[in-house]
Amino acid sequence: MNAAVIAIAVLVFYFLGYRYYSKFIAEKVFQLSDDEAMPSHELEDGVDYVPTNKHVLFGHHFSSIAGAAPIIGPAIAVFWGWVPAIFWVVIGTIFMGAVHDFSALVISARRKGRSVGDLAGVVMSGRARTLFLLIVYFLIFFVLAVFAYAIAGLFVKYPTSVLPINFEILVALAIGFFLYKKGVPLLWPSIIALILLYFTVWIGTKVPIEVPAIMGSPIVTWIIFLLVYSFIASILPVWTLLQPRDYINSHQLFVGLFVMLLGLFVAHPQMQAPAFNPNPEGALPLFPFIFVTIACGAISGFHGLVSSGTTSKQLDKMSHARHIGYGGMLGEGTLAMVATLAVAAGISRADWLIHYHDWQTASSGGIANFVLGASTFLQALKFPPILANTFISVIVISFAATSLDTAARIQRLIIGELGSAYQIKLLENRYIGATLAVVPSLLLALFAEAPGRGLGSGGFLLWPLFGATNQLVGGLTLLVATIFLWRSGRPIIYTAIPMVFLICMTTAAMVWNFKTFVGNPLLLVLSAVILALEIWLILEAVLAFNRQRGGPDSIAQEAEAD
């Protein structure tokens, strides 16, 4: 089958989803109104709460959610066949992922920008709040470790990408200064920055940068550098680096998606991967693992943390939530679709059989396979191979790096909320919070890179645990949204069905992981703790429903008020 035909069909489904389904959710379920007070105005502090232009905020939000996961997940999941991967990406994005992101953004904005974990305490109990925040802490713990490792691996494999990525940071700092301190309009500086960035991509092909090895590995060197950068980025005001970098990245990423799609339509290759691969060697079972392997490309708990952790604090008007929350997820679904087609059609049949010979080979080569496949689309546009590889690797790293610094900021805020809940003032200090956010993830990433551990020797061992935890947080976020809607007397079926499905699939994956992690005490204990927290939180939700069985009308006002 022609890959270009599949891409057009998916884009049409996404258009229809935004045009009709998101409008229905906005008007009939959440009943959005611009008369609602926004936390960015009520609590403006110049650091986290900052009223932000709709398009700038979309850039931050999209760049933050579109990390490496919607590339890695589909690039691995094609091992089961391209049909299951595309099907889950499309259905998951329209009816689950976009609704999840939209819901988290709205309910957080209506509760003064509080995180979805904090909201669990509002709609369930104080214990539920702590349980949710602890699960979220573990998720971001994995996000920082996995993404830092993924970027480090790309820097080592494609040293031509180092110069443009670091140049982008410097330009973002300059734009943030001129925008917020000098009042310079944003559009033209960001366009000039984008042009300069692509120029440095070309320079990078001439000036590859390599770093000395620490602990015997240059990957370790980059992991340390990246997490130190994440610490710094997480404590700076959002206007200095986070917003301008994400805005520049949003332009870059949209241009990158456009160029990859254009190359796909020009090349219009036939699908090389099998439609179904029913008996792949050494693979985890299709059910439930395709639903946690393709996480961020269909639905992702991390997105709810971005929506409620940073985006809701910058939302200028409530009507912007549909464009940013639902529309941002459609952008990520498009990236997941491109990633699927890149590894299913951009790689020759012979190479596909080599790269997807068995589960270990497939699971360890997700990003590399994407770069290989997507670069063939660019070569159809007459890009030289080294420039195509550098261009794609810069896009992937830009996706992942924005999620990395956003994750560190969210983790700092989560730690602060735990400190506030238990009156531990030290945890509310942003420097202490950032340290506690970054250091444990650094240790986990170094553990993963150590010989015989998995990420650096034998595949993404952390990926099944990261994926399952990520989707678990997504299901629990939908649980919070469902209770919130029920307490407000509004329809719950549109969040309840995805919630039940996702919690069932992720729980099954978590249980199966016990078998995978036998012989690895650390990961076995981590998965057991997360599963125990999930069960406890679900029991808290059941108790909350029982306490409020008298009906939603009596508590609707409380659910809507702060």
pLDDT digits (tens, 9 = 90+) for 155-190: 998 999 999 998 888 888 888 887 777 777 767 777
**293 versus 247: which is more confidently predicted?**
293
What band does 197 get if pLDDT is binned at 50, 70 and 90? confident
CA distance 402 to 406: 6
CA distance 529 to 375: 41
Q: Is 277 helix (H, G, I), strand (E, B) or coil?
A: coil
**Percentages (nearest 5) of helix, strand, coil residues in the chain:** 75, 0, 25
Q: Classify each residue of 337-359 as buried b or exposed e, where b means 16 or more C-beta atoms within 10 Å of its C-beta.
A: bbbbbbbbbbbeeeebeebbeeb
Measured CA to CA in angstroms, residue 431 lies from 232, 413, 511 at distances of: 9, 11, 36
Mean pLDDT over residues 295-303, rounded?
Answer: 91
Number of H helices and E strands in the chain, helices first, is 27, 0
What does R_g of the chain's alpha carbons equal in angstroms?
22
Asked if pLDDT for residue 414 goes beyond 90, the answer is: no
In this prediction, residue 458 carries a pLDDT of 33
Q: How does pLDDT run across 244-285, given as a tens digit for each residue?
A: 777 777 778 788 889 999 999 999 999 999 999 877 777 788
Mean pLDDT over residues 489-514, rounded?
Answer: 94
Q: Please give the distance of CA 14 from its chain centroid, rounded to a whole number.
A: 19
**238 versus 20: which is more confidently predicted?**
20
pTM for this prediction: 0.87
Q: Which stretches of 352-444 are assigned E, i.e. beta strand?
A: none
Asked if pLDDT for residue 510 goes beyond 80, the answer is: yes
What band does 551 get if pLDDT is binned at 50, 70 and 90? low
What band does 455 get if pLDDT is binned at 50, 70 and 90? very low
Instruction: Answer left, alpha or beta for residue 2, where phi above 0 means left and psi between -120 and 50 means alpha.
Output: beta
CA distance 446 to 288: 29
Asked if pLDDT for residue 239 goes beyond 80, the answer is: no
- DSSP state letter for 2: B
**519 versus 94: which is more confidently predicted?**
94
Retrieve residue 153's tokens. Answer: 């691996």
**8 versus 417: which is more confidently predicted?**
8
Question: Domain 3-560 adopts which CATH fold?
Answer: Hydantoin permease (1.10.4160)
- For the chain, give the percent of residues with pLDDT over 70: 95
CA distance 5 to 431: 50
Indicate the burial class of 173 (C-beta count within 10 angstroms; 0-12, 13-18, 19 or more): middle
